[in-house]
Amino acid sequence: MRASELPLFTSKDDPSDAQVVSHRLLARAGYIRKQGSGLYAYLPFGNIIHRKIEQIVREEMDRAGGVEVTLPVITPAELWQESGRWDIMGKEMMRMEDRHGVGYALGPTHEEAMTDLARSYLQSYKQLPINFYQIGKKYRDEIRPRYGLVRCREFTMKDAYSFHTTDESLDETYQKMREAYRAIFERCGLKTIPVEADSGNMGGSGSEEFMVASSIGEETLLLCSDEKCGYRSNQEKTAFIENTKRGGSTALTDRSLSAVEGRIEDFDTGAAKTIEDVAKLTGQNPRDFVKAVIFEDKEHIYLCFIPGDRELSEIKMKNLAGATEYWAASEETIKALTGAEPGYTGPVGLKFSDRDVVSLNLPTGDGKKALRIFYDAHLKGREGLITGANKTSFHKKNVAEGRDFKVTDGHDLVNAHAGDLCPQCKKAELTETRGIEVGHIFKLGKKYAEKMQVSVLDQTGKPLTPTMGCYGIGVGRTMATSVEQNHDERGLIWPRNLSPFMVYLVSLVKGETETAFVDKLYETLQARGISVYLDDRDERAGVKFNDAELVGFPFIVTVGKKTLESGKIEMKLRRTGEKLELTEAELMEKIL
């Protein structure tokens, strides 16, 4: 292509709202343009890259036995109601009605739609396993679109859904998808870290995310420092094992409760509510506190007690409680629950027990919410604790678990961090890094197949509910993360497999014979299967060189008066900046 046919959309200034390098460079180099919050137009070069990523995904999915289909973006509410997600998906799902008042959603994901397709088609175990996939637009009304293509409200996703008669068969496809994903990201020139993940509201068991390490990553990953162990997981999922070498343990390991010293007593802490403040007051370690974290939803109050030096994992809490839309408890709720101002909640002397109904003075509804109390298992056996006294301005000290309150079924409720023990080898410490999720594979199980009544006949003629897997890749996000990993101060640096063109041909010549030389080189390169972008604009050399570096194709070839005289063609490697003077034959060889 020539610049006269396929124009550049480069700009000298960064858009004022671009925060991250991928957004800044993609916008400045004319690959994308924002049209609204989380909504992006793909300009010609951006469109080519998007298509190339799609093609790589398609090839690897086909190789792994996937079957491509295309589902409507607009999904009937009926299907969501059938699975029970019409309510669960909440505000994130863009909803609409047609002229008859029938409800629809712009598909944020397609489990329901694909399961519906599958049930109409699947009759027999002989048709299984099958792995349907599509590459199409998804819509999510994100709370906060961010970071350009990393977090959009409209984005292209490859989503695949597999159906199986047995867990073994699901596992086989799951492993195939794992391999396909590795191949896809490798071809895209991305270094990914596969990690164990939480399966969110998709339901199901096994789940792995493909992460790209990046400082703008919105995920925290925990990696075992022992490479032989190789444990890697998303913090949402990482089981917390305290490293006793680091924190002094007060756990009752060798002693019985009768040996616990010190009487429990209230003491006045005045305005000091936070653990930090009270710790300063008493000189005790935050670890010796019990932290209370309180959430509520429409029907419940969730009261969680955790070690004072840790933060609650909302994901773990959510999974445990089964809450979908919840929020931090209001001051009124906390007062009704504890009889005290917020900041003084503790497990001892609480008026309510787990599953009690708490009466609240609410403007709507009957004002009653069921209380759920959860304890973090790490509180088990601790003594000498400081807790809220459920009395404004007072805390309790010398609190002992087992004597003053009891952790019945304890749960893992807190986030693991760097320095904690690896849950797999239980020896090495964990390290932390930030990551962007570019792909995710799940074992979904039978949740959707059951709710939507998918059934095939097995060998004996009995109905069987298939088990499912689902596998997603964000196409635009893959593009953005590739830029995050491949750029310099001058602009983009595309890996060969993604670059819109292999060669940026800078023509600095005028005159018929000279132009003919450039045209011939342009033709020759293309005849050898090398894609070339010929900058034939009437611009000065500096403008062309700068644009060539900004748009970031792997090879920048320059033809000017000097090179014509010497018979040597100048080539610059975009990634290294290395400059070469080559004959035409050497040039071809170098590029191919």
Partner RNA sequence: CGGGAUGUAGCGCAGUGGUAGCGCACUUGCUUUGGGAGCAAGGGGUCGUUGGUUCAAAUCCAAUCAUCCCGACCA
Q: Report the length, in residues, of the chain.
A: 592
In whole angstroms, how close is the CB of 397 to RNA at the nearest point? 31
- The helix-helix angle for 475-485 and 21-28 (nearest 10°) equals 100
Q: Which is nearer to RNA, 85 or 378 (CB)?
A: 85
| Segment interacting with RNA (CB under 7 A) among 167-175, 522-530, 543-551, 582-590 | 543-551
Binding mask 318-337 for RNA (x = CB under 7 A): x-------------------
In whole angstroms, how close is the CB of 525 to RNA at the nearest point? 17
Joined together, the tokens standing for residue 587 give 């040039």
Q: Which is nearer to RNA, 405 or 501 (CB)?
A: 501
Q: Which is nearer to RNA, 37 or 453 (CB)?
A: 37
Give the C-alpha distances (Å, rounded to integers) separating 237 from 122, 173, 182, 463.
Answer: 34, 23, 22, 35
Among residues 25, 24, 31, 35, the alpha carbon closest in space to that of 9 is found at 31
Binding mask 99-118 for RNA (x = CB under 7 A): ----------x---------
Q: Which is nearer to RNA, 16 or 253 (CB)?
A: 16
Q: Could you say which of 62, 78, 218, 589 contacts RNA (CB under 7 A)?
A: 218
| Segment interacting with RNA (CB under 7 A) among 238-246, 339-347, 431-439, 584-592 | 431-439
Q: CA-CA distance, 524 to 522, in Å (whole number)?
A: 6
In whole angstroms, how close is the CB of 414 to RNA at the nearest point? 14
Q: Could you say which of 303, 399, 414, 438 contacts RNA (CB under 7 A)?
A: 438
Binding mask 278-317 for RNA (x = CB under 7 A): ------------------------------------xx--
In whole angstroms, how close is the CB of 172 to RNA at the nearest point? 22
- With binding defined as CB under 7 A, does residue 587 bind RNA? no
In whole angstroms, how close is the CB of 283 to RNA at the nearest point? 30
Q: CA-CA distance, 386 to 391, in Å (whole number)?
A: 14
What's the half-sphere exposure (Cβ side, CA atoms, 13 Å) at 348? 22
Binding mask 165-204 for RNA (x = CB under 7 A): -----------------------------------xxx--
| Segment interacting with RNA (CB under 7 A) among 76-84, 259-267, 343-351, 561-569 | 561-569
In whole angstroms, how close is the CB of 467 to RNA at the nearest point? 18
33 touches 27 (CB < 8 A): yes
| Segment interacting with RNA (CB under 7 A) among 350-358, 360-368, 379-387, 546-554 | 546-554
DSSP bridge pairs for 395:
267, 388
Q: Which is nearer to RNA, 122 or 550 (CB)?
A: 550
- With binding defined as CB under 7 A, does residue 535 bind RNA? no
Please give the span between the terminal C-alpha atoms of the chain, in angstroms, as a whole number: 19
Q: Which is nearer to RNA, 137 or 427 (CB)?
A: 137
- With binding defined as CB under 7 A, does residue 488 bind RNA? no
* Number of residues forming the site for RNA (CB under 7 A): 65
138 touches 156 (CB < 8 A): yes
Helices (H) and strands (E) in the chain, counts: 15, 31
3-state secondary structure of 292: strand
| Segment interacting with RNA (CB under 7 A) among 146-154, 337-345, 376-384, 398-406 | 146-154
Dihedral sign (CA 446, 452, 457, 463): positive
Residue type, 36: G
Residue 351: alpha-carbon gap to chain centroid: 41
Q: Could you say which of 22, 26, 31, 38 contacts RNA (CB under 7 A)?
A: 38
On the 0-12 / 13-18 / 19+ scale of CB atoms within 10 A, 277 is middle
Residue type, 308: G
Among residues 301, 323, 97, the alpha carbon closest in space to that of 201 is found at 323
Cis ω before 307 (30° cut-off from 0): no
In whole angstroms, how close is the CB of 197 to RNA at the nearest point? 8
| Segment interacting with RNA (CB under 7 A) among 65-73, 128-136, 271-279, 470-478 | 470-478
Q: Which is nearer to RNA, 387 or 563 (CB)?
A: 563
- With binding defined as CB under 7 A, does residue 561 bind RNA? yes
* Sheet containing 300-307: order of strands: 327-328, 290-296, 300-307, 368-375, 357-359
| Segment interacting with RNA (CB under 7 A) among 225-233, 392-400, 451-459, 539-547 | 539-547
Among residues 309, 281, 400, 310, the alpha carbon closest in space to that of 347 is found at 400
Joined together, the tokens standing for residue 88 give 């669960």
In whole angstroms, how close is the CB of 562 to RNA at the nearest point? 4
Q: Which is nearer to RNA, 52 or 397 (CB)?
A: 52
- With binding defined as CB under 7 A, does residue 453 bind RNA? no
In whole angstroms, how close is the CB of 383 to RNA at the nearest point? 32
Q: Could you say which of 60, 116, 196, 219 contacts RNA (CB under 7 A)?
A: 219
Q: CA-CA distance, 79 to 76, in Å (whole number)?
A: 6
Q: CA-CA distance, 189 to 486, in Å (whole number)?
A: 9
Contacts for 456-460 with beta carbons within 8 Å, 24 or more apart?
456/122, 456/123, 456/124, 456/125, 456/127, 456/128, 456/165, 457/123, 457/124, 457/125, 458/125, 458/165, 459/125
| Segment interacting with RNA (CB under 7 A) among 30-38, 58-66, 356-364, 386-394 | 30-38
- With binding defined as CB under 7 A, does residue 549 bind RNA? yes
Residue 549: alpha-carbon gap to chain centroid: 31
Name 82's Cβ contacts closer than 8 Å, sequence gap at least 6.
112, 451, 452
- With binding defined as CB under 7 A, does residue 559 bind RNA? yes
Q: CA-CA distance, 139 to 471, in Å (whole number)?
A: 17
Binding mask 500-529 for RNA (x = CB under 7 A): --------x---------------------
- Interface residues with RNA (CB under 7 A) are 10-17, 19, 34, 36-38, 92, 109, 140, 142-147, 150-153, 155, 157, 200-202, 209, 218-219, 314-315, 318, 437-440, 472-474, 476-477, 490, 508, 540-543, 545-547, 549-550, 558-563, 570, 572
